[in-house]
Amino acid sequence: MSDLELLDCGGGRRLERFGAVTVDRPAAQAGEPRRLPDSDWARPTLRWGRGGWVRGAAADPWPVRVGGLTLECRPAAGGQVGVFPEHALTWGWLDAAVRSSAATLGREPEVLSLFGYTGGASLACARAGARVAHVDASRPAVAWARRNAELSGLSGAPVRWLADDARAFARRERRRGRRYDGVVLDPPTYGHGSGAWRIEDGLPDLLDEIAALCGPRPSFVLLSAHTPGFDGERLAALLRDHLGIPADGAPLRLDASSGGRLELGAWAAGGVHAPPLPGVGPARSRRRSAPGSRPRAPVGSRPSPPPGRRTAARR
C-alpha cells in the first residue's frame, strides 16, 4: 500500500493519508459533495482550519516512503506537510528522463532544480544518477530537503544545496558559462527571493535563462505549477516557445480511493531524452511548437526583443 493516499475530497476539503497520519485540509477545487460518510472525516490526525492547524499542530515529524525516497512530513505553514502528493507521478517521469539522458550522454546528467522546496524532485534525479543543483529561496526549506536526502540514503549524492533566488541563480550560472542537461521547476504563484516573484511576470524571463543554460537540445525540462490559468497546454506552450522544444502538458490530479478526483495544477515536459507524459502518447509528444510561434534563441546569443515582441505565451 502506498504511503500517499487521497481518501476523499469534496465540500472544499480533502482528506489524505501520509503514512499512518490522516490530514483534513482545504481544497478549493473540491467542489463536489464528499463520498465518504462524516464519520470517516471526523477524527483526522491533523486538521487545517481558519488559518492554522486546529488539530495535531504539535505532531512530531514523521517519515513517508514514496518512489524509493523517504521524506519527512510535519504540520507546516499554510496547511502544507512537506510533500505535494500529486508530484509523485512527476518524480517517476524524472527518474526515467535522467536514466535515459545518462545512457545517451555516457555521463551523469547535470540537473538544475528550481523552487526545489523539500527536495522530492531533486532527490528523484539524484537517485537516478544525476548531479543536481537544488535551489530554493527559503533556508528552512533547503535544510528540510537535506534532511530528506539523509532519510533517503542520499546524503553522499552529488547535490549542491543552495538557498538562493531562482532567477538570480540562473542568471549567475549563465554568466559563469554553466550548462545543464535537464531542468525541473515548480514555480509558485507568488514568492520571495532577492525580490518578489510573480509567476505571470517572472516565468517567461526565467525560461529564457533556462534556454541559455541548456542550449538548443536540452535532455529534459519539466515545468509544473499550481496557479489558476496555467493548465498543461499553457505550460507546454511556454516550453515550446521559450526553449524551442516539443513539449506536452497534462493536469496534475489525484484520484481518491473513495472515487472522487482532485485537480491540483498542471505539468508540462519535453526535451530530447524526455519520455512521453503518462497518458499522453508519443505522437503528441513529438509535436512541434504551435503554429505561428517560433523557438527562441537562448539568452545571451542575441539581443533580447523589445517587450512588445514577446511570444504568444506572454500575452
Ligand X SMILES: C[S@@+](CC[C@H](N)C(=O)[O-])C[C@H]1O[C@@H](n2cnc3c(N)ncnc32)[C@H](O)[C@@H]1O
Q: Which residues are near ligand X by CB under 6 A?
A: 115, 117, 135-138, 141, 165-166, 186, 188-189, 191-193, 197, 225-226
Q: How far apart are CA 126 and CA 120, in angstroms?
A: 10
Give min distance, CB of 309 to ligand X, in A.
Answer: 26
Q: How many CA atoms lie within 13 A of 277 on its CB side?
A: 28
Give min distance, CB of 198 to ligand X, in A.
Answer: 10
Which lies closer to ligand X via its Cβ, residue 191 or residue 260?
Answer: 191
Which lies closer to ligand X via its Cβ, residue 75 or residue 246?
Answer: 75
By the 10 Å C-beta count (0-12 exposed, 13-18 middle, 19+ buried), 3 is classed as buried
Measure CA 147 to chain center: 19
Give min distance, CB of 3 to ligand X, in A.
Answer: 19
Give min distance, CB of 86 to ligand X, in A.
Answer: 10
Which lies closer to ligand X via its Cβ, residue 153 or residue 195?
Answer: 195
135 and 116 Cβ atoms separated by less than 8 Å:
yes
- Can you read off the three cell numbers belonging to residue 154? 542520499
Nearest to 252 by CA among 88, 42, 108, 15: 88
Q: How far apart are CA 299 and CA 171, in angstroms?
A: 10
Give min distance, CB of 28 to ligand X, in A.
Answer: 12
Give min distance, CB of 106 to ligand X, in A.
Answer: 32
Give min distance, CB of 189 to ligand X, in A.
Answer: 5
Strand duo 110-114 + 131-136: pairing: parallel
- Can you read off the three cell numbers belonging to residue 125? 534525479
DSSP 108: P
Q: How far apart are CA 155 and CA 73, in angstroms?
A: 18
Give min distance, CB of 190 to ligand X, in A.
Answer: 8
The beta strand positions in the chain, using DSSP E, are 4-10, 13-18, 21-26, 46-49, 52-55, 62-66, 69-73, 110-114, 131-136, 159-163, 182-185, 190-192, 196-198, 220-225, 247-255, 261-270
Which lies closer to ligand X via its Cβ, residue 129 or residue 191?
Answer: 191
Which lies closer to ligand X via its Cβ, residue 134 or residue 242?
Answer: 134
Which lies closer to ligand X via its Cβ, residue 85 or residue 193?
Answer: 193
Q: What is the dihedral of CA 234, 238, 244, 247, to 10 degrees?
A: -40
Q: Give the nearest residue (CB) to ligand X.
A: 191
Which lies closer to ligand X via its Cβ, residue 189 or residue 285?
Answer: 189
Strand (E) or helix (H) holding 228: none
